[in-house]
């Protein structure tokens, strides 16, 4: 199995990794998200993940953003890629419940509400406009943008948005056992609200059913003038679908083979239906000798915090698959 399914035809002198952080209150519904040790703690995962990517450790709290089974957060992969490449990531606060400990470009958003009971992102249009402004700014400081996310519970909002946009999609999960029944129940209620609103406008759909990361990422992607890779699985695919519905070309995606091969999701098929291209990285975690990383291969975590895109970026910058794997293994062995 090659390290990259296909190498993107991209060269960059000034690459930038940016990570959009946000919350949706859906992540506190028991059983929805494994991106944290407990449902309540998932609200802190973007804060802990960003601290880990920025500093290489977590000092602000006494617990880690790992899964309930102790599988290392994908932020540890992103961190090791930043160390290997010498890049410094930019964090963008789309709407966090708790003030982050890292400096962020602030979009002045709020955590997404539970879309079953009210508008998920009342200011979706404002977040999109501020994302557009940020995209113009980032165009001045880089020629390649690898744009990732951290939104626990975000695969469920992605399901709602993809379905509301008309795709017969299934999304991935941070759990090995994707809680599809629970997600479908949530989605049915949300689609009822979208139907009642009688709208097919993509930003209205984000207002009703999305999370704050989505309008920010879509806004940035709309105005960014360099090469762009959406770093992530089904959540960034929902962003690509929004861009398509806005009449723009959907940008390419970069993610892991664990997302591609997730039979509970429909990533490759939906990528095709959206008219996007996806690059897949296979970091061979089964053979690195780390129990937690090996769980990625049975479908735990799979992706997040732009981890797949960060590995693709390191590869584009000339690092060999062995160097990439070693950097991840060395960091995770120390950290987890
Ligand atoms: C981000 N940090 C994570 C993590 N993610 N830490 C541990 N496990 C993860 N999977 P779900 O909808 O099931 O919550 O999955 C989406 C989350 O999983 C996102 O936060 C994504 O970045 C990843």
Domain-embedded: residue 10: no
Q: CATH no. for residue 285? A: 3.40.50.10210
CA of 150 to the centre of ligand 1 (A): 7
pLDDT of residue 336: 73
User: Closest ligand 1 atom, CA of 156?
Assistant: 12
Residue 282's domain spans which residues?
Answer: 15-333
Domain-embedded: residue 4: no
Domain-embedded: residue 2: no
CA of 26 to the centre of ligand 1 (A): 13
Domain-embedded: residue 3: no
ipTM of the complex, rounded to two decimals: 0.98
Q: What percent of the chain has pLDDT over 90?
A: 95
pLDDT tens-digit readout, 106-161: 999 999 999 999 999 999 999 999 999 999 999 999 999 999 999 999 999 999 99
Q: Assign 260 a pLDDT band (cuts: 50, 70, 90).
A: very high
**The overall pTM is greater than 0.90:** yes
pLDDT of residue 66: 85
Q: Mean pLDDT, to the nearest integer, of 43-69?
A: 94
pLDDT tens-digit readout, 193-241: 999 999 999 999 999 999 999 999 999 999 999 999 999 999 999 999 9
Domain-embedded: residue 218: yes
Domain-embedded: residue 43: yes
Task: State whether the beta carbon of 51 lies less than 6 angstroms from ligand 1.
Answer: no
User: Closest ligand 1 atom, CA of 72?
Assistant: 7
CA of 155 to the centre of ligand 1 (A): 8
Domain-embedded: residue 223: yes
Domain count, the chain: 1
Q: Alpha-carbon torsion 65, 70, 72, 74, what sign?
A: negative
Domain-embedded: residue 34: yes
Closest to 148 measured CA to CA, from 56, 53, 275: 53
pLDDT tens-digit readout, 87-117: 999 999 999 999 999 999 999 999 999 999 9
């Amino acid at each position: 199995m090659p390290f990259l399914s296909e190498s993107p035809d991209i060269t960059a002198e000034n690459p930038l990794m940016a990570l959009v952080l946000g919350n949706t209150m859906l992540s506190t519904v028991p059983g929805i998200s494994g991106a944290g040790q407990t449902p309540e703690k998932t609200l802190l995962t973007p804060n802990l993940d960003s601290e880990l990517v920025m500093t290489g450790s977590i000092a602000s709290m006494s617990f880690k953003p790992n899964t309930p089974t102790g599988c290392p957060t994908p932020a540890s992969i992103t961190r090791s890629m930043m160390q290997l490449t010498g890049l410094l990531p930019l964090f963008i606060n789309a709407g966090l419940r708790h003030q982050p400990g890292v400096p962020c470009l602030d979009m002045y958003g709020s955590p997404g509400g539970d879309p079953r009971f009210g508008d998920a992102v009342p200011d979706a249009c404002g977040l999109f406009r501020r994302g557009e402004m940020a995209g113009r700014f980032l165009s001045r400081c880089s020629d390649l943008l690898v744009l990732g996310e951290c939104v626990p519970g975000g695969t469920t909002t992605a399901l709602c948005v993809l379905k509301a946009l008309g795709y017969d999609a299934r999304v991935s999960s941070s759990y090995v056992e994707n809680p599809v029944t629970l997600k479908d129940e949530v989605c049915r209620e949300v689609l009822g609200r979208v139907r009642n609103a009688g709208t097919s406008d993509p930003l209205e759909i984000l207002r009703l059913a999305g999370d704050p990361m989505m309008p920010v990422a879509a806004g940035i992607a709309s105005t960014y003038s360099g090469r762009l890779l959406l770093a992530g699985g089904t959540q960034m695919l929902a962003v690509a679908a929004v861009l398509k519905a806005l009449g723009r070309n959907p940008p390419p995606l970069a993610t892991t083979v664990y997302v591609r091969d997730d039979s509970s999701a429909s990533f490759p098929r939906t990528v095709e239906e959206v008219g996007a291209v996806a690059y897949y990285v296979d970091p061979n975690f089964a053979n690195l000798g780390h129990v937690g990383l090996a769980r990625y291969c049975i479908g735990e975590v799979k992706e997040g915090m732009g981890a797949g895109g960060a590995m693709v970026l390191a590869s584009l910058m000339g690092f060999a698959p062995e160097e990439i794997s070693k950097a991840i293994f060395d960091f995770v062995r120390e950290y987890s």
